[in-house]
Structures are given as structure tokens and as C-alpha cells.
């Protein structure tokens, strides 16, 4: 996976002299696959935040929660999670159907660790994991 800092982030990094730090962090932490360590971490989480983009470019951020293990790591590029009916608005689901653009943030508040996943989401109404 290739990652490029935006012109805006570079401008601010240069303003505060953090470009070298940003590049060092990116080189050590950015990866294109979900490692086994990441999968274990995700499997222990009982919640995450998901940002999604709507068709007009508008953004929505939601909390998703369940029992630890409710998010399944399917393979090194794919996770699956249930779409529980919270308040019946389905803002995240609608945005996923429209654009699929999402960012997820898993946080272990106790140990002060986090994982971000950015990518494309889909909804499979006939997913074989639905029974779980």
C-alpha cells in the first residue's frame, strides 16, 4: 500500500518541523495488511468508531459496539461486523451502500493503543456470517 501525505499535512509538518517524525512514524506503522497481532487486537475489542462518506461528500461518524469478538477478521484485507439496528436511521449503512468509503478506529483505552483501518466497505445482506 502506498501512502502519500497530503500537501496540507506537509505544509503543517514543515511549519512545525515534524516532517521527519511523520515520515518515521509512517514507515513503522502503516501497513497494507491486517497482521495476526492486529487481528488479535481487533478480536478483543468491544467497540469501534466508524466514519463513512455519503454521496454528497458529507461525513458521518458512529459508534459500533458488541461483545468482544463481534468484529471478525476474515483475512488479511477483510473484516466483518454485524449491522445492529441502533436507532433505525442506518446512516452508516446507507453511506456504505452509496460510496463505501470508511475509516474505522479501534481503541484500547486501558492500554492506550489504537488501530485505524481505512478502506472500502460493502454490505452483504446474505453474508454467511449473519447467523453468528
Mean pLDDT, contiguous 10-residue spans, the chain (132 residues): 78 95 86 95 97 96 95 96 85 96 97 96 88 70
What is the fold of 34-131?
Pnp Oxidase; Chain A (2.30.110)
Instruction: Report pLDDT for 3.
Output: 65
pTM of the model: 0.87
Q: Does residue 104 sit in helix, strand or coil?
A: strand
Please list the residue range(s) of the chain that carry CATH number 2.30.110.10.
34-131
7-15 and 19-29 helices, crossing angle to 10°: 130
3-state secondary structure of 118: strand
Predicted confidence (pLDDT) per residue in 112-131, tens digit: 999 999 999 999 988 887 77
* Neighbour-count burial for 91-128, b at 16+ CB within 10 Å, e otherwise: ebeebbeebebbbbebeeeeeeeebebeeebeeeeeee
Look at residue 92 in the predicted model and tell me its pLDDT. 95
Position 47 scores a pLDDT of 97
Amino acid at each position: 500500500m502506498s501512502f502519500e501525505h497530503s500537501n496540507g499535512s506537509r505544509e503543517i509538518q514543515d511549519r512545525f518541523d515534524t516532517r521527519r517524525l511523520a515520515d518515521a512514524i509512517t514507515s513503522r506503522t502503516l501497513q497494507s495488511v491486517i497482521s495476526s497481532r492486529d487481528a488479535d487486537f481487533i478480536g478483543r475489542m468491544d467497540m469501534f468508531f466508524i466514519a463513512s462518506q455519503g454521496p454528497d461528500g458529507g461525513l458521518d461518524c458512529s459508534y459500533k459496539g458488541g461483545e468482544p469478538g463481534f468484529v471478525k477478521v476474515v483475512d488479511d484485507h477483510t473484516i466483518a461486523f454485524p449491522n445492529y439496528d441502533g436507532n433505525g436511521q442506518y446512516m452508516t449503512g446507507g453511506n456504505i451502500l452509496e460510496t463505501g468509503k470508511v475509516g474505522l478506529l479501534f481503541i484500547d483505552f486501558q492500554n492506550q493503543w489504537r488501530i485505524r483501518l481505512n478502506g472500502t466497505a460493502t454490505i452483504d445482506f446474505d453474508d454467511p456470517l449473519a447467523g453468528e
